[in-house]
Structure 1
Amino acid sequence: MLIQDEGRGVPVAKRIGTLFHETFALSRPGVAAALRQASETVGNKELVERLQEEENLGRNWAKAVPSYARGCGFLDFGSTHLTPLGEHVLAHDPDLHLPETLWLMHYHLSAPHGPGPRFWHDLVQRLPELGDGFDREDVAVQIAETTRTDGAALKERGVASTATVFLGSYAKSDALGPLGIVQEKENGYAFDYPEAPSAGVVGYALSHYWQGQLLGQQTCSLETLSEPGGFSSALLLGSFDLNRALRQLAQRGVLELWMAAPPYQVTRPPAPQQLLEGIYAAE
């Protein structure tokens, strides 16, 4: 299901809807199957059928997988065309096991203007507050608040299943678990700041963020990128890791840092398609 979202001040963007998941958590093998089959199809119905027939996915899981692929930034809305990022990932990491790929899946699901669902963004912003000890109910409360704010309140069953899906997507080893953002504990879950993504991932994500949030601006203050709810929050980056990545990107000629006097400024990076080769480049 697709919804339209005003992005809190940015142009209308396409996002996957809250119940896109069909009660299934993210699975990298499932999304990888969608990428393999998408280039062979001409429509979403055919893609779902091929996922059932060629990949042996159950009907509901086969329906959810293309939505996950769209939410991760790999598949276009309204078609089965791979995005430029999806094509690049399929060529360089078809099994979706490299940390760079996992980080970009997380980023797109969490970006403030989509393509992930609104609740995913809001939850990622809150994870540091939840800290070392929270449960499904804590996550469900945030999901319920988000859907009420968006004017599309869910029934209790839908909220509960969505909370389970979100937590499973970060705790499972075949999902985003290797990033180490959420760990399952005996009595619930715990958040932990993960190892920072590579500069190539930060550069690509910043370009996507700039297109959706900063629009025609040619520069942005470092303080703005670092503020709570801003760019660094989507990638769970501390100030040190953000600054280090930006310095590396400046050395590569991707952007400029103006640090002579505050407020320090970052110049706009090239379009995301121009930064694909840097994603898997050695540091």
Structure 2
Amino acid sequence: MGLTFHRTFSLSRSSIAKILQVAYNKPGFKNSDLAKLTDLGTIYQEAMPRYAKRAGLLDEQNRLTLFGRYVAEFDPQMEKNSTQWLLHYHLTAPHRSTAFWHHLVTEWFIPGNTFTAEQLVEDLTRFLHNNTGKSPAPDSVRSTITIFTGTYLKSDGLKRLGLLEETERGTYSVLQVTPPPVWALGYALAEYWQAHYGERLTINLDDLTGKNFAGLFILGENGLTELLIELKREGLIDLYRIAHPYQVVLLQPGLESALERIYK
């Protein structure tokens, strides 16, 4: 289940930026290269490439993905709102993410929801036991909850998205977030479609309104539909809402055109 991939560190954009620079200059680098080519500590040298892979920036051979190349060239410090939403998307999407990350976001990140770290620990322990048949080490689960919440609370992580705030030590509140930029959602839609529906031209709108897609962006059905209407105006999709089931048609399945709209 990838429970300890983080090596007890939350996502650090400034550290991942150094990994991307190495990948840009030396595609397929070995982790042992990082000691010479960066100033990252030993455990960061292990953890941050793992984050970069889970966040969609590197492939399994430590080469930049298409998304990673655009980020490395046009937003290397990952300051853009669109970039941070797409880091979150890749970390959370059901076909890409470490399973527990998807579970925690889709179960708990509901605007107005309030919960404690201990509730997350109990839920994650139960989730892992149900999916593996084994009881995880309590310290590993607590550490994972700390790094998960820290990713969304720290300024060097994804705090700018405004998904989560700590109201008192160990107690969290999910905020009413600003929807993602339209072309960030457009890229995510094309990537999600490619993974789940392949060459299909049309799917039901209902396939996108649940937790596996809209829920990743903390969007309800109305919020998602508003963004899809914008994407229809932009020519990425067509949208038919005359009679149920409503239909979505993907007109431009390529990922690069969406990235060009974000970064150029």
- Give the TM-score normalised by the residue count of structure 2: 0.91
**Which residue is 1:14 aligned to?**
none
Match of residue 99, structure 2, among 118, 125, 139: 118
Report whether the alignment pairs 1:198 with 2:181: yes
Paired position in structure 2 for 1:142: 123
Give the aligned partner of residue 51 of structure 1: 34
CA pair 130-98 structure 1, distance change in 2 beyond 3 A: closer
In the alignment, structure 1 residue 20 sits paired with structure 2 residue 2: no
The yes-or-no answer on 1:70 pairing with 2:41 is no
Structure 2 residue 123 is matched with structure 1 residue 159: no
Q: Distance in 2 between matches of 1:204 and 1:153?
A: 37
Q: Is the 8 A contact 2:16 2:49 kept in 1?
A: yes
Instruction: Determine whether 1:209 maps to 2:192.
Output: yes
Deviations 1:65-102 (A, max 9, x none): 0010001100001x111001100111110110110000
Structure 1 contact 100–280 (Cα < 8 Å) conserved: no
RMSD over aligned Cα atoms: 1.9
Instruction: Name the counterpart of 2:236.
Output: 254
Superimposed CA distance per residue, residues 169-194 of structure 1 (whole angstroms, 9 cap, x where no aligned partner): 01111100110101112242111131
Per-residue deviation, 1:63: 0.5
SS at match of 1:209: helix
**Fraction of identical pairs, as percent:** 35
SS, match of residue 25 in structure 2: coil
Q: Map 1:258-277; keep pairs closer than 5 Å.
A: 258-268=240-250, 269-277=252-260
The match for 1:169 among 136, 141, 151 is: 151
Alignment of 1:29 with 2:14, yes or no, is yes
Aligned to 1:10: none
The residue identity in structure 2 corresponding to 1:177 is K
TM-score, with structure 1 as normaliser: 0.86
Return the offset for 1:261: 2.2
Return the alpha-carbon distance in structure 2 between the equivalents of residues 36 and 207 of structure 1. 26
Which ranges of 4 or more aligned residues in structure 1 deviate by more than 6 Å?
none
Partner residue of 1:189? 172
Structure 1 residue corresponding to 2:74, chosen from 77, 84, 92: 92
Look up the match of 1:127.
108
Structure 1 unaligned runs (5+)?
4-16
SS of residue in 2 equivalent to 1:267: strand
